[in-house]
């Protein structure tokens, strides 16, 4: 049968995208698993498939299809004036959403500083009433901090979706079969990788944002997380 040796996590995950060969072993059961990480083409849309505290409003006539609601260019000036008045009265928190569009799109609450390929694509906003209802620890004095934090998290998630920075993984379990030559008695082993489990919907770097940890927990099953190690096949 094939033998596997334990290796450090950093070594196992080094250049994972190029080799896409991450092997895990459950030391209790002896099971060997191959972890394959892929882009999640069917990921949930963070604005239409998820609940959000904030609203993103954009101009229907611009070149960027961003946001939850869209108003015409003719309506935009009046709408902005009303929102600015509400912000002055302390009824809402709002901020511009910037788009950088060059060989792909990315959004941020910070200005990209490129007058040719970037600009304001939308406004993200939320009412004070909604923030106070959502966060028990929010007060009249600090509610804008909660609003800004929520907006930053929502834009980060939305940006990851727009950039295609969403991943899923599939686990395959090694099923080894030992064969033997009748003539000389020599043996060899073949390995078939059988589908074990698949999970998607991981936004951001798969190594840093929980995907690998989730896969390890899946391999552990009823055992402890520490019972799962990274391995590689030993050379004969």
Tokens of 107: 């959004």
**pLDDT cut 90: percent of the chain above it:** 72
User: Is residue 99 pLDDT above 90, yes or no?
Assistant: yes
**CA–CA separation, 94 and 127 (whole Å):** 9
- Rg for the chain, CA atoms, rounded: 25
| pLDDT of the residue at 32 | 96
What pLDDT, in 10s, does the model give residues 179-200?
Answer: 667 777 677 677 899 999 999 9
Whether 229 contacts 25, CB under 8 Å: yes
For residues 21 and 135, the model is more confident at: 135
Q: How many CB atoms lie within 10 A of CB 189?
A: 11
Quick one: which H or E segment has residue 39? strand 32-39
Q: What is the mean pLDDT of residues 113-135?
A: 94
Give per-residue burial for 222-231: e unless 16+ CB within 10 Å, then b: eeeeebbbbb
Q: How far is CA 4 from CA 88, 124, 131, in A?
A: 65, 52, 53
Secondary structure of residue 87 in the 3-state scheme: helix
Q: What is the mean pLDDT of residues 123-128?
A: 98
**CA–CA separation, 185 and 197 (whole Å):** 37
User: Is residue 17 pLDDT above 90, yes or no?
Assistant: no
If you search the block for the tokens 């979706």, which residue do you land on? 161
Tokens of 180: 């033997």
Predicted TM-score of the model (pTM): 0.85
Q: What is the mean pLDDT of residues 159-166?
A: 95
What pLDDT, in 10s, does the model give residues 44-87?
Answer: 999 999 999 999 999 876 677 788 999 988 899 999 999 999 99
């Amino acid at each position: 049968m094939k033998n596997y040796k334990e290796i450090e996590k950093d070594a196992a995950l080094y250049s994972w995208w190029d080799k896409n060969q991450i092997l895990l072993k459950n030391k209790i059961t002896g099971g060997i698993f191959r972890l394959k990480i892929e882009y999640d083409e069917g990921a949930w849309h963070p604005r239409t498939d998820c609940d959000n505290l904030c609203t993103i409003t954009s101009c229907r006539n611009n070149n960027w299809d961003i946001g939850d609601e869209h108003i015409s260019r003719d309506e935009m000036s009046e709408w902005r004036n009303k929102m600015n008045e509400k912000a002055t009265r302390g009824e809402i928190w709002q901020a511009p959403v910037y788009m950088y569009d060059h060989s792909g799109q990315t959004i941020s609450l910070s200005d990209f500083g490129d007058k040719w390929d970037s600009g304001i694509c939308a406004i993200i906003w939320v009412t004070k009433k909604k923030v106070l209802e959502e966060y028990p620890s929010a007060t009249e004095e600090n509610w804008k901090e909660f609003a800004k934090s929520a907006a930053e998290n929502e834009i980060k998630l939305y940006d990851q979706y727009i950039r295609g920075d969403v991943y899923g993984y599939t686990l395959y379990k090694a099923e080894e079969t030992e064969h033997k030559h009748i003539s000389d008695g020599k043996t060899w082993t073949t390995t078939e990788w059988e589908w074990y489990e698949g999970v998607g919907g991981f936004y951001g770097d798969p190594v840093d944002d929980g995907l690998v940890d989730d896969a390890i927990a899946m391999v552990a099953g009823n055992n402890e997380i520490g019972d799962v190690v990274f391995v590689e096949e030993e050379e004969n």
